Structure 1
């Protein structure tokens, strides 16, 4: 597998960022939902938010890297068998997920900095609180963070179902291109 995207498949960098961020979205959402259910007396009451915020900062850096890489590296051509509506739906879902991820990161930062404290990255460095003490900052940002995270999971679920549909029903190269699998040739693709 090549580092960069080619005309017919995604490269190692794009694929790695895709799958790493997909796992992070699922993990951060699960951790976030779990940690908000903890009581003050839970042994994880302070450690769970610490991990959620630290991993969230890593996720933010990966998102910036992914957007830069996407701008610098052309995507492969569309699979010839894809219908126009499928291409539009896929592009819309991708940009919707990017926008949701960006807003989730921003709202998470606003929750964490609402009282003027910075955000620790695994205790190594602190990202300063540049925006704080806005009216109801933590509550408003928290609502945006929560609902966008759930919405992102929904759109990502539809995205995954589309990829599975292309792989198992249409039997085309859509998922194979992102997994680094051997591509079907044109005659195999028509079966």
Structure 2
């Protein structure tokens, strides 16, 4: 089942969700590591190139994921979820998407501040659209770090909420995002 149903997410939504989650965590770790490298480290140029290339691919993936989410039906909220849980879930998802795009935009402002495009593994380049802001790379770098920490923190809270639903409430919230959420498949 590729598409979402009324009671569970389809394979496309599940794969995109977990792919984005893994890439965000990986890029966060890579970003923290690479800023500590010195000019003489073997990874001094390679790590940022990987970070930028994967970041652009993440932008395309998140855009695809958002399009898939908007065009396809979403499973109905579980009846056991209170009104405030549903509202918090909507706000959290909106913030996660906003932070994802803001982190990627600030990253592109760092990478293109010198006017050079972002090379994506030799496959294509993303042009430098904004290059003449005062202290663009430094300011965008500060913003990028703050937004990335905010994104990973909110994603952590999101994961804890899913675990709370699974372990304490014993509902199908987490199972649905694993593609196993239909009532007939619940434990």
Query: What TM-score do you get using the length of structure 2 for normalisation?
Result: 0.96
Q: Distance in 1 between matches of 2:129 and 2:147?
A: 22
- The equivalent residue for 1:163 is 162
**Structural mapping, 1:2-151, within 5 Å:** 2-151=1-150
Alignment check: 8 A CA contact 1:172 1:184 kept = no
**Structure 1 gap ranges (5+):** none
SS at 1:117's partner residue?
coil
Q: CA deviation at 1:182?
A: 5.4
- The equivalent residue for 2:172 is 173
Deviation digits for residues 98-156 of structure 1, max 9, x if unmatched? 00000011111110000100000012221111111211111111111111110011110
**Structure 2 gap ranges (5+):** none
SS at 2:125's partner residue?
strand
Higher relative CO (Cα under 8 Å, sequence separation at least 6) belongs to: 2
User: Which stretches of structure 1, 4 residues or longer, exceed 3 Å deviation after superposition?
Assistant: 182-185
Q: Distance in 1 between matches of 2:161 and 2:181?
A: 20
Deviation digits for residues 55-90 of structure 1, max 9, x if unmatched? 001000001111111110121100100011111111
Q: Distance in 1 between matches of 2:182 and 2:159?
A: 19
Alignment check: 8 A CA contact 1:54 1:122 kept = yes
Q: CA deviation at 1:181?
A: 2.1
Deviation digits for residues 4-56 of structure 1, max 9, x if unmatched? 11111011111110000000000000000000011111111000000000000
SS at 1:57's partner residue?
helix
Query: What TM-score do you get using the length of structure 1 for normalisation?
Result: 0.94
